[in-house]
Amino acid sequence: MSTTSAAFAVHAEQVDHDPRALRWVSMSTLPGTGRLVRCPGSLGELLDQDWFTDALAERHGLWLWLRDDLSWSGVGQQVRRGLVGALRAPDQWGFEDATEDLIRVVLRDVLAGETGEYIRSHGGNIEPTRISADGSVELELSGACSDCPARGITLHDRVESVLRERLTDLGEISWHNAHRESSPQRLFHLLPTRRR
C-alpha cells in the first residue's frame, strides 16, 4: 500500500449498543468535526439521498447511522469507497455544530469500551451527568471510584486523555461522587482545554 492510499485507509467499527451505526475510523484527520451536512463525491450523494439518519465527525472517525431499510452488509463497501474518495477533497466538506451530541456519542463509546472495562474491573463506574454546549462535561463516580485515591489519575489518564485525542471541542471535565453531597471537582489539566 502506498503512502498516499494508506493516508486514506478507513475501517469500520461496530457500535455495540446500536446496530444501525458504524464508526468509520480514518488514519488521516477528518476535515472537520460536528454534524456532517455536506461532502464530495459518492458519499455526498448518499448523504443527499438520506441513506443516513445522522452523521457525526470526530477527529479520526465518522459515525454514520444507516436508515432502517438499508443494511451495512449490503452498502458498507459502497460507503467505504465513498468515504475514501471524499477524504481526497477535504475543502468540500461541511459541518454544523453538534458539540453535545458528539461528546455524548464518543463518551459513551469510551466508557463502553476498554476504558470502561478497566474501570468496571476495579469495581467502579463512571456516568455522565451533564454535557453542555460549550463542551464541558460533568461525570459521576460510583462504586470503588467514589473513594479511590487514584481516581484523578484514572480520570485523567484513562478518560480525559482519550476524549481529548478524539474530540476537538471538549471543554472542562469535572466530577462528583455518587450519593454524596459534594461540589464537582475539576480534573487537573495537563492537556489543553481546547484544540483548534
Last residue of a domain, one of 96, 111, 131: 96
Residue type, 106: V
Total domain count, the chain:
2
Query: What band does 183 get if pLDDT is binned at 50, 70 and 90?
Result: low
Residues 6+ apart with CB under 8 A from 134: 99, 171
Give the pLDDT confidence of 118-150 residue by residue, as tens digits.
Answer: 999 999 999 999 999 999 999 999 999 888 888
Closest by CA to 135, choosing from 172, 186, 174, is 172
Closest by CA to 79, choosing from 34, 5, 22, is 22
Give the pLDDT confidence of 41-70 residue by residue, as tens digits.
Answer: 999 999 999 999 999 999 999 999 999 999
Looking at the DSSP bridge assignments, the partners of residue 34 are: 57
Mean pLDDT for the chain?
A: 88
128 membership: H or E segment, kind and range: strand 124-131
194 is a domain residue = no
196 is a domain residue = no
Q: Are 131 and 101 in contact (CB under 8 A)?
A: no
Cα 185–Cα 191–Cα 195 angle in degrees, nearest 5 = 110
Give the pLDDT confidence of 106-122 residue by residue, as tens digits.
Answer: 999 999 999 999 999 99
Last residue of a domain, one of 48, 69, 96: 96
Query: For the chain, how far is it from start to end, CA to CA, in angstroms?
Result: 31
Is 91 found in the same domain as 116? no
Closest by CA to 125, choosing from 133, 117, 137, is 117
Query: What band does 177 get if pLDDT is binned at 50, 70 and 90?
Result: confident
* pTM listed for this prediction: 0.85
76 membership: H or E segment, kind and range: helix 72-87
Query: Regarding predicted confidence, which is higher, 180 or 157?
Result: 157
Is 88 found in the same domain as 16? yes
Mean pLDDT of 189-193: 41
